[in-house]
Amino acid sequence: MEIIDMPTSSTENSVQIKVSKIDKSRIEEVDFNNIPFGKIFSDHMFVVDYKDGQWNDPEIRPFGNLSLSPAISALHYGQAIFEGLKAYKDGSGNVSVFRPLDNHTRFNSSAKRMCMPTLPEGLFMDALNQLLTLDREWVPPVDGCALYIRPVMFATTAEIKVKTSEEFKFAIMTCPVGPYYPKPVRVVIETHFARAMEGGIGYAKAAGNYGAALYPAQQAQERGYDQLIWTDSKEHKYIEESGTMNIMFVIDGKLHTPSLETNTILEGITRDSVIRIAESKGIEVLERRILVEELVDYCRSGECTEAFGVGTAATLASIATIGYNGEDFDLPPIGDDSISTILMDELSNIRTGKIRDEYGWMMPIS
């Protein structure tokens, strides 16, 4: 294994990241035209440990297992958070990451809610930049594919006691990925289980939120749906989000999406991007509390013409059917002039450099 010290790119408080390169890349084994989501990892990962009040010895090394005590508090008490973002290749092979600073901000907001240390912006960005420089070949050159980037932080103090950990590990791993949902999805409005409650951790990308969502999602799958639409935990009267995506509806040609005032909805970066693109195209956007009954009426009357989930993993997932109280509402098929197609195309064109990024969303990898 070759060991080199790469000076970090920018900023005053930039750090030395130790780099140990893999002997032989595994990239030859990957078929970029047929990649399962989240199962194939690029050659390298970034790791850094938090101890004695600071982040120490950042390192890029071959992707591989960690050795940890079974007593680490992340496993017992759930101090674990993550992020998800993507890197894209443009036509000339240049690699850029989509809105990484926003993921960094949200990561630190999740960290605060979970009593975990925040990560300095310089460290996050340098780690990302160096990791992707090293593994740039892993960004798929194929349309509709990207390199999914998964930062994660978890508590590593080995002590059986409910209290905040003193030690943490932060890592970044990456996976080349293709489309998440191959075809439009069937979703069902959940009226019994809840994902998040007011005052809880719904707005944080905290691991426990996802563990708790598995059982309700499995129940929905047994009833023939792909995913749930979550509603508020108190009355199940208001629409919140869908699985791990924010949700949007086209009603009478306007874009409607649940507002974020309750702190129970994850503030998606794709959501924000789609809203801004819609506004730039003169589409009226309404961020508001959306009643389940109201949505069902709009589906029944045909005024709701499109529904879709938006998130980094799935990008934009069209919804074909919405189930509620034993009834299924089928939405019209999506065409080239559907609002969701227009928004999705614009977003992919920005990401792959086909049109100018007037928002400053893409961060090029040096």
Ligand X SMILES: *Cc1c(COP(=O)(O)O)cnc(C)c1O
**Which residue in 347, 318, 187, 182 sits closest to 250, CA to CA?**
318
Q: How many residues bind ligand X (CB under 6 A)?
A: 13
What is the helix, strand, coil percentage profile of the chain, to 5? 25, 35, 45
Q: Check binding of 245 to ligand X (CB under 6 A).
A: yes
Q: Check binding of 177 to ligand X (CB under 6 A).
A: no
Would you call 160 exposed, middle or buried from its count of C-beta atoms within 10 A (0-12, 13-18, 19+)? exposed
Q: Check binding of 84 to ligand X (CB under 6 A).
A: yes
Question: Whole-number minimum distance, CB 302 to ligand X, in Å?
Answer: 28
Question: Whole-number minimum distance, CB 274 to ligand X, in Å?
Answer: 9
Gap between the Cα atoms of 213 and 195, Å rounded: 6
State the sign of the Cα–Cα–Cα–Cα dihedral 198, 202, 208, 210.
positive
Nearer to ligand X, 269 or 304 (CB): 269
Nearer to ligand X, 102 or 137 (CB): 102
Region 269-288 residues binding ligand X, contact defined as CB under 6 A: 269-271
Gap between the Cα atoms of 87 and 267, Å rounded: 20
Q: Which of 165, 246, 262, 264 binds ligand X (CB under 6 A)?
A: 246
**Which residue in 195, 185, 299 sits closest to 244, CA to CA?**
195
Question: Whole-number minimum distance, CB 133 to ligand X, in Å?
Answer: 23
Q: What angle do CA 276, 279, 283 make, to 5 degrees?
A: 135
Nearer to ligand X, 100 or 268 (CB): 268
Nearer to ligand X, 135 or 240 (CB): 240
Name the helix (H) or strand (E) containing 210. Answer: helix 207-222
Region 183-242 residues binding ligand X, contact defined as CB under 6 A: 205, 241
Gap between the Cα atoms of 350 and 152, Å rounded: 27
Nearer to ligand X, 17 or 125 (CB): 125
Stretch that binds ligand X, among 14-22, 148-156, 261-269, 328-336 (CB under 6 A): 261-269
Residue 84 Cα distances to 225, 245, 282, angstroms: 24, 12, 29
Q: Which of 201, 311, 331, 344 binds ligand X (CB under 6 A)?
A: 311
Nearer to ligand X, 43 or 241 (CB): 241
Nearer to ligand X, 150 or 237 (CB): 150
Q: Check binding of 258 to ligand X (CB under 6 A).
A: no
Q: Check binding of 268 to ligand X (CB under 6 A).
A: yes
Residue 283 Cα distances to 112, 135, 274, 278, 280, angstroms: 36, 39, 11, 5, 7
b/e per residue, 203-224, with b = 16+ CB within 10 A? bbbbbbbeeebeebbeebeeee
Q: Which of 153, 220, 266, 365 binds ligand X (CB under 6 A)?
A: 266
Stretch that binds ligand X, among 8-16, 69-77, 264-272, 341-349 (CB under 6 A): 264-272
What does the binding site for ligand X look like in residue numbers (CB under 6 A)? 84, 205, 241, 244-246, 266, 268-271, 311-312
